[in-house]
Amino acid sequence: MFRKKDLLIIIPFLVAAGILALWFGAKPSYGIAVVEKDGKEVCRFDLSKQKTSRIIDIGGSMNIKLLLEPGAISFYRSDCPDQTCVRTGRLTKPGQAAVCLPGKVSVRVISDGNSVRKYDGYTG
Amino acid sequence: MLKKKKIAVVLALLAAALIFAVPVCIKYSRGSKAYETSGYAMGTYILQTVYGENGREASDKASEKIHNLENEISWRINSSEIAKLNKQAGKGSTAVDKETCSILETSLDVAEKSDGAFDPTILPVSSLWGFGGGKPHLPDENKIKSAVGLVGYAKLEIGADGRSASLASVGSGVDLGGIGKGAACDTAVAEYKKIGAKAGIVAAGGSIGVYGTKPDGSAWNIAVRDPDSTDDKSSAMGEINISSGFVSTSGPYEQYFVSNGKTYHHLLNPKTGYPENNDIISVTVTAENGALSDALSTACFVLGREKGSRLLEKYGAGGVFIDKAKKVYVTDNLKEKFKISEDGYKLAD
């Protein structure tokens, strides 16, 4: 039969396992933003690691600027006539994407391996 | 005594291994190897995620096929079959391939059943507004009136051989913008199947197609974009779980412009020549065919909830209608697959 003394052996293992599980399995993460211009990747940002906000100048024919924030990225400005990219708003989850069609610049968020993709796709 | 201690240690280790392994396994099964690609076609952004060892091949082939399709059905490409059909308007028939013909047939079918709420011959009107590539602007009222007179699906005829089409009047023209993105999803899914990918999802503008079973075995979880969020416009108002098929959404919130304080969006009523302004702010349609889901979502937006629901019944399609009061109407065949995920939206009785 188990004695109280045995618990002293079991509990540290369980606590250690719990901590490891939390560290590897439930670490909060927002994913990685992949920025593409004319279909080719120009840069990527780990949204989980952003501590401050800054403007990323992508340039191009539509003079595009992105706003990189802790856990989010968005089109900050574009000279395109329809402004669909700017209106798309902040991308915060794997699976989301925003695109400036006239400027041929896209931003999509992919999983970084730690982040859970809640949605497989977005309609609308 | 020593034996009991050993058993305790082994049990503790086993329990620890379980506690550690379960969440990690769940995490990695969710993040199973997937090949993601993006590109531009059909006047929109195409995003693909394909699972399986041949995911890359399936995705690349699907992209190629979508570009081929665009080269045949886009009225903006001079060498396309649709551009040739438009140039021949009032003069005779034009040869079209099987795929183009099938899309034209679906267009005409939805046009007839929706009493022209969706109309593939809307080009004279749509080209005036400049959505989808040009600079959107408010056209002259008289020009809109004249253009509306040239619109009418009855002017479009498909040859009995299924390999030719014609437009009866000079000045008429076909614009497949309301069905092309869904058709692109059909093309991609057909390639995933042909090449033998394990599973895949393709998003072309507001349309989505899914194929196969995801690595974790769960249904595809499709977010319906929140049509009315201000801070985070990319957020979802709800989600649809499907194991196969296609989903398309039409809403005025993405392509629009403001002129003299008035908002004009891209969902045009073929009969008036102006953006349709009823109380609907988003319509999502599910169907077993991407071209159909795309055309139906456009038609349902123009028709409104009651007539739109009746149209969906004719095709056995599902629908989610959202009105300006944020009331959500879901067709009976979709009620178990759809749920609201955003505060502020309420299911209608």
pLDDT at A87 (0 to 100): 86
In 3-state terms chain A splits into helix, strand, coil percentages (rounded to 5) of: 25, 35, 40
**Contacts of residue B247 in chain A, CB cutoff 8 Å?**
123
Q: Output the CATH code of domain B75-167.
A: 1.10.3980.10
Rounded distance between C-alpha atoms, residue B74 and residue B133, angstroms: 12
Domain edges within chain B: 75-167, 219-349
Mean pLDDT across chain A = 85
Q: Tell whether A20 is within 8 A of chain B (Cβ).
A: yes
Determine whether the interchain pair B201/A108 forms a contact, defined as Cβ–Cβ distance below 8 Å: no
Quick one: pLDDT band at residue B34, thresholds 50, 70, 90? confident
**Contacts of residue B234 in chain A, CB cutoff 8 Å?**
88-92, 96, 98, 122
pLDDT above 80 for B217: yes
Query: Exposed e or buried b for every residue in A27-66, given b needs 16+ CB within 10 A?
Result: eebbbbbbbbbeeeeeeebebbebeeeeebebebebebeb
Fold of A32-110: mini-chromosome maintenance (MCM) complex, domain 2 (2.60.320)
pLDDT at B28 (0 to 100): 41
From the list B17, B40, B284, the residue facing A123 with the nearest CB is B284
pLDDT at A20 (0 to 100): 62
pLDDT above 70 for B163: yes
pLDDT above 50 for B27: no
Q: Tell whether B304 is within 8 A of chain A (Cβ).
A: no
pLDDT above 50 for B29: no
Quick one: pLDDT band at residue B3, thresholds 50, 70, 90? low
pLDDT above 70 for B64: yes
Q: Tell whether A60 is within 8 A of chain B (Cβ).
A: no
Sign of the torsion angle spanned by Cα atoms A51, A120, B31, B20 = positive
The partner residues of B242 in beta bridges, in order of sequence, read B220
Q: Tell whether B30 is within 8 A of chain A (Cβ).
A: yes
* CA-based radius of gyration for chain B: 24
pLDDT at A118 (0 to 100): 83
Quick one: pLDDT band at residue A84, thresholds 50, 70, 90? confident
Q: What is the pLDDT of residues B124-138, one digit of tens each?
A: 999 999 998 778 999
Q: Give the lowest-confidence range in B129-133, B290-294, B330-334.
A: B129-133
Quick one: pLDDT band at residue A95, thresholds 50, 70, 90? confident
Residues above pLDDT 70, as percent of chain B:
89
What is the residue type of A36? Answer: E
Rounded distance between C-alpha atoms, residue B288 and residue B40, angstroms: 24
Task: Quickly count: other Cβ atoms within 10 Å of residue B3's Cβ.
Answer: 7
pLDDT at B122 (0 to 100): 98
Quick one: pLDDT band at residue B41, thresholds 50, 70, 90? very high
Residues in chain A: 124
What's B219-349's CATH class? alpha beta
Taking residues B212-225, what's their average pLDDT?
A: 94
pLDDT at B135 (0 to 100): 82
Rounded distance between C-alpha atoms, residue B314 and residue B317, angstroms: 8
Task: Quickly count: other Cβ atoms within 10 Å of residue B142's Cβ.
Answer: 8
Residue B214 per-residue DSSP state? -
Domain edges within chain A: 32-110
In angstroms, what separates the C-alpha of A89 from chain B's closest C-alpha?
5
Whether the CB-CB separation of B104 and B163 falls below 8 Å is answered with no
pLDDT at B254 (0 to 100): 78
Taking residues B177-204, what's their average pLDDT?
A: 97
Q: What is the helix (H) or strand (E) element at residue B110, kind and residue range?
A: helix B98-113
What is the residue type of A105? Answer: V
Rounded distance between C-alpha atoms, residue B105 and residue B110, angstroms: 9
Q: How far apart are the first and last CA of chain B?
A: 67
Q: Give the lowest-confidence range in A43-52, B49-58, B231-240, B278-287.
A: B231-240
Taking residues A60-65, what's their average pLDDT?
A: 95
Q: Tell whether A105 is within 8 A of chain B (Cβ).
A: no
pLDDT at B32 (0 to 100): 55
Whether the CB-CB separation of B132 and B175 falls below 8 Å is answered with no
pTM of the full structure: 0.85
Q: Give the lowest-confidence range in A87-101, B180-194, B227-241, B289-303.
A: B227-241
DSSP string of B254-312, one letter each residue: SSEEEETTEEEES-B-TTTSSB--SSEEEEEEEESSHHHHHHHHHHHHHH-HHHHHHHH
Q: Tell whether B182 is within 8 A of chain A (Cβ).
A: no
Rounded distance between C-alpha atoms, residue B108 and residue B86, angstroms: 16
Strands (E), A1-124: 32-37, 40-46, 54-59, 64-69, 72-77, 97-100, 105-110, 121-123
DSSP string of B122-138, one letter each residue: -HHHHHHHT-SSS---P
HSE value, Cβ hemisphere, 13 Å, CA-based, for B135: 4
Quick one: pLDDT band at residue A46, thresholds 50, 70, 90? very high
**Contacts of residue A4 in chain B, CB cutoff 8 Å?**
none
Rounded distance between C-alpha atoms, residue B51 and residue B269, angstroms: 40
Rounded distance between C-alpha atoms, residue A96 and residue A33, angstroms: 9
